[in-house]
Amino acid sequence: MKTVITFGTFDVFHVGHVNLLQRAATYGDRLIVGVSTDELNFSKKGRNPVYNQDDRMKIINGLRYVNLCFEEYSLEKKREYIEYYGADILVMGDDWKGKFDYLSDICEVVYLERTPSVSTTEIIEVITSR
Ligand code: CTP
């Protein structure tokens, strides 16, 4: 049984997120998703997510191709999360290309092409400009 793990904020859930998670799931038998906490997101992007972490977790948990999700408290703890959940494959969007190669001693690292022309940042910009 192969376990796939991926991480992200998944704020203002959109089709790029669906595409990433659906494709990630095809790499193994179960998909585990680390959803970054509001605090982690604030430290990373300097703003709070539009949807809070409980709601973002609820959305991810509601997807049929996601088996489990958990709160990601620290970007530096990927190794611990991968080991704790026994993940065989780490899947990330290719905006992270190369950044997680250092984990290939404990799992396979796969970068998937991002869906073009959609991002949470862009959706927020479109809405606020209206
Ligand atoms: N993702 C993707 N295609 C997109 C947008 C996101 O494949 N068009 C992937 C990312 O590569 C990542 C996961 O979805 O693996 C979660 O991305 P996240 O950063 O939460 O979404 P973004 O829309 O990129 O958010 P932001 O604009 O705030 O950076």
pLDDT in tens, 73-107: 999 999 999 999 999 999 999 999 999 999 999 99
Q: Which residue has the tokens 């809070």?
A: 52
Please give the angle made by the CA atoms of 27, 88 and 41, to the nearest 5 degrees.
Answer: 85
Which residues are 64's β-sheet partners?
none
Per the structure block, which two tokens stand in for 108? Answer: 């396979």
Tell me the Cα Rg of the chain: 14
pLDDT above 90 for 45: no
User: Do 13 and 52 contact (CB within 8 A), yes or no?
Assistant: no
Q: Ligand 1 centre and the CA of 17: distance in Å?
A: 6
Residue nearest to ligand 1 atom 12, measured at CA: 93
The chain-wide mean pLDDT, for the chain, equals 97
Confidence of residue 126 (pLDDT cuts 50, 70, 90): very high
Per the structure block, which two tokens stand in for 120? Answer: 């949470």
Q: Ligand 1 centre and the CA of 92: distance in Å?
A: 9
Q: Domains for the chain: give ranges and CATH numbers.
A: 3-128 (3.40.50.620)
Atom of ligand 1 nearest to the CA of 117: 8
pLDDT above 90 for 21: yes
